[in-house]
Structure 1
Amino acid sequence: MSKKKVLVVDDSAFMRKMISDIINSSSYLEVANTAKNGKDALEKIKILKPDVITLDVEMPIMDGISTLEFIMKEIPTPVVMLSSLTKSGADKTMEAMALGAVDFIAKPSGSISLNIKDIEEEIIKKTEHAAQANFRLKLKPISNLKVIHYKPIRSDRPIVAIGSSTGGPRALQQVITTLPGNFQAPIVIVQHMPKGFTKSFAERLDRLSELSVKEVENGDIIKPGHVYIARGGCHFRVKEIHNQLKAELREEQPVNGHQPSVDVLFESISKIPNCHPLSVLLTGMGSDGAKGLILLKKEHPKTISITQSKDTCVVYGMPQAAEKTSLVDYVEDLEHISQVLVQKIPKKR
């Protein structure tokens, strides 16, 4: 089997060499060439036609965002962004995800990370996944969507719990920004994302959405019409304390290789009495969320389970794992998921 061709783009010669060596250690990938900035990259992309590109965010002459915009418009190719752990780096990375980057990798110690080998496994895994991604997705305009009618649930205590991973930031933006400002349920989210990026992601969604969106903090009261995004590096649980739903954040061991983990969030909701969960599993690699769904359905048999359709997933892993439990109620194209939620959640009387 021929290997997938990778173009490595970084302004540092050291980083280009280290990233290339790491990628070349994969049996599935090979570095076809490297580029020192966006302008150089665009010239080489046209000739090489790589299967996947690793693209640094911060570069002179033509930066990663400008390069990504051109790639998405003119020569669509799966891209994995590499970013520094700074506020500016996180903000630009979230912009890149909205523009269509498949995934991103946080450099462990800045633009020139001498310890880049520490994340060798992550670089290989995310680049391999990007090369296999269902990348050429076109969302239908909201005005063109077929209207489907769903029977509302009968509950005064609905709670929406969403899990996502690879391709998730863009999918979540689609769902959250198409919900109305008077949505009558709290929404709690686990998006697999490292520490330092979830705050920028929440702030971006808050600017774009009619709902109030924030990176959750320990002790937050979970209120209807608000969206709470798990903080990278912490497990997120929802607990009932004195008749109020509250957030609990803890740094623990990863579950399914992730912290935060969707299974941990779903399990915590399964223990809340007298609530009506609506679980949503969006695009993502792996099976996180499937075990949690089993617990939700066991403790709350009326749980409504929704998964994103294969055709609209960047990576079908998490929805597929949930569907294999035979506990999923609705398999929906991404564009329809907010419509399902709105019709399922009863309006205020």
Structure 2
Amino acid sequence: MRKVISDMLNQDPRVHVIGTARNGEDALRKRKELRPDVMTLDVEMPIMNGLETLKHVMNDDPCPVVMISSTTKQGAENTMLAMEYGAVDFVTKPSGAISLDIDRVENEIVEKVVYAARARLRRSSPKPIVQLRAVQFVKRPSRTLPSSAQKMIAIGTSTGGPKALKDVITKLPGSLKAPVLIVQHMPAGFTRSLAERLDSLSELTVKEAEDGDVLKNGVAYIAPGGYHLAVKQEHSSYVIQTHLEEPRRGHRPSVDVMYESLSAINDIETIAVIMTGMGADGSEGLMKLKQSGSCYAIAEAEESCVVFGMPKVAIRTKLVDEVVHIQEIAGRIMRQVQ
């Protein structure tokens, strides 16, 4: 696997592999000598596994890390821990620990390593930085909502998202008077582990969304990997739909799809939050949310983003109401919900 992955990376002119290591202990020694810009770490390694190695890297001298993981339940749980410990992103092996068909994810490995080299690593206790931006008004239909209008919190994120979600979701109270909808770009098999991890750390109930779920206040629903998440109104209830329509901007689930479904529902107030991630997912959906009526938009500040892609594009629409550090987002959500 070391040889195959090295060959893949070396074929790209943007990347030069300067060393390989047999296990975590070997990796820590070589890292001090070679000073790489990016490391890839297999979750499963002898002597010192990927998680222990990652802890040492992040504690001693942080470096962008891309994890290589299996799709087993244990592999998915360990990958979520790796994201929490500070890994930038992960790639899943197609067929187990020794994946002879790893070339199927060659482009993904290369692109994630390249992006990781430009990632911003967050300190464990960052000083909150808040940027307030004037509200940008757009011409949209006039609509007066009653104070009792149902509020919806809709969060979109990608690279760096699992750790960012932990920072936000664990600060929201169990008594939250709104459901939380989450699209995290992630393959099938990992979103359930993400939901279970966040549920164990939060006052909110956090679950992987299922088709037909009736939205409840104080519950966070994470779009299942490989499926779009949408919301429809049925009488006085709001119900989740998961479906397999074509990916948007290469993503399924897509933040745009979630936002567009909310824009079609009357008499709700949406708090749209766009956090760290590469690409532009969420911006087109945000435009439709703003055009349709009541929406307050929050974007994560560049200072705390692992990759300032999705928030940057959203801010360029001039429809974002506030740009704030990740540590401030939960508080800003609560201001809009109360």
Which bin holds the TM-score, normalised by the shorter protein? Answer: over 0.9
Kindly provide the amino acid, as one letter, of the partner of residue 299 in structure 2. Answer: T
- Equivalent residue runs for 1:304-323 within 5 Å: 304-323=296-315
Select which of 248, 252, 259 maps to 1:266: 259
Structure 1 position 199 matched with structure 2 position 199 = no
Quote the Cα distance in structure 2 between the aligned partners of 1:120 and 1:140. Answer: 34
Select which of 116, 120, 134 maps to 1:134: 120
Q: What's the TM-score once normalised by structure 2's chain length?
A: 0.93
Quote the Cα distance in structure 2 between the aligned partners of 1:93 and 1:78. Answer: 15
Match of 2:216 in 1: 223
Match of 2:87 in 1: 101
Give the Å deviation of 1:29.
1.0
Quote the Cα distance in structure 1 between the aligned partners of 2:41 and 2:13. Answer: 21
Structure 1 position 36 matched with structure 2 position 22 = yes
Select which of 287, 297, 302 maps to 1:294: 287
Quote the Cα distance in structure 1 between the aligned partners of 2:300 and 2:10. Answer: 33
Q: Secondary structure at the match of 1:200?
A: helix
Conservation of the 8 A alpha-carbon contact between 1:155 and 1:275: no
Match of 2:7 in 1: 21
Structure 1 position 169 matched with structure 2 position 169 = no
Q: Secondary structure at the match of 1:335?
A: helix
- Consecutive unaligned residues of structure 1, counting only runs of 5 or more, are 1-14
Q: Secondary structure at the match of 1:331?
A: strand
- Cα RMSD after superposing both structures: 1.5
Kindly provide the amino acid, as one letter, of the partner of residue 94 in structure 2. Answer: P
Quote the Cα distance in structure 2 between the aligned partners of 1:137 and 1:62. Answer: 24
- Equivalent residue runs for 1:146-157 within 5 Å: 154-157=147-150
Conservation of the 8 A alpha-carbon contact between 2:160 and 2:277: yes
Select which of 318, 323, 334 maps to 2:326: 334
Structure 1 position 58 matched with structure 2 position 34 = no
Give the Å deviation of 1:184.
0.7
Q: Secondary structure at the match of 2:273?
A: strand
Structure 1 position 80 matched with structure 2 position 90 = no
Kindly tell me the number of residue pairs found equivalent between the two proteins. 324
Give the Å deviation of 1:145.
9.0
Give the Å deviation of 1:75.
2.2
Moved over 3 A (4+): 136-141
Conservation of the 8 A alpha-carbon contact between 2:129 and 2:324: no
Match of 1:9 in 2: none
Give the Å deviation of 1:53.
0.4
Give the Å deviation of 1:138.
4.2
Match of 1:67 in 2: 53
Quote the Cα distance in structure 1 between the aligned partners of 2:164 and 2:271. Answer: 17
Q: Secondary structure at the match of 1:66?
A: helix
Residue deviations 1:52-71, cap 9 Å, x none? Answer: 00000011111000100011
Give the Å deviation of 1:242.
2.1
Quote the Cα distance in structure 2 between the aligned partners of 1:139 and 1:249. Answer: 37
Give the Å deviation of 1:155.
4.4
Quote the Cα distance in structure 1 between the aligned partners of 2:148 and 2:65. Answer: 43
Kindly provide the amino acid, as one letter, of the partner of residue 326 in structure 1. Answer: K
Give the Å deviation of 1:342.
1.0
Quote the Cα distance in structure 2 between the aligned partners of 1:313 and 1:122. Answer: 21
- Consecutive unaligned residues of structure 2, counting only runs of 5 or more, are 133-145
Q: Compare relative contact order (CA 8 Å, sep 6+) and give the higher one, 1 or 2.
A: 2
Conservation of the 8 A alpha-carbon contact between 1:139 and 1:335: no
Match of 2:33 in 1: 47
Q: 1:219 to 1:176 in 2, by over 3 A?
A: same
Residue deviations 1:147-195, cap 9 Å, x none? Answer: x9xxxx9443110000000001000000000111111110000000000
Q: Secondary structure at the match of 1:158?
A: strand
Kindly provide the amino acid, as one letter, of the partner of residue 108 in structure 1. Answer: P
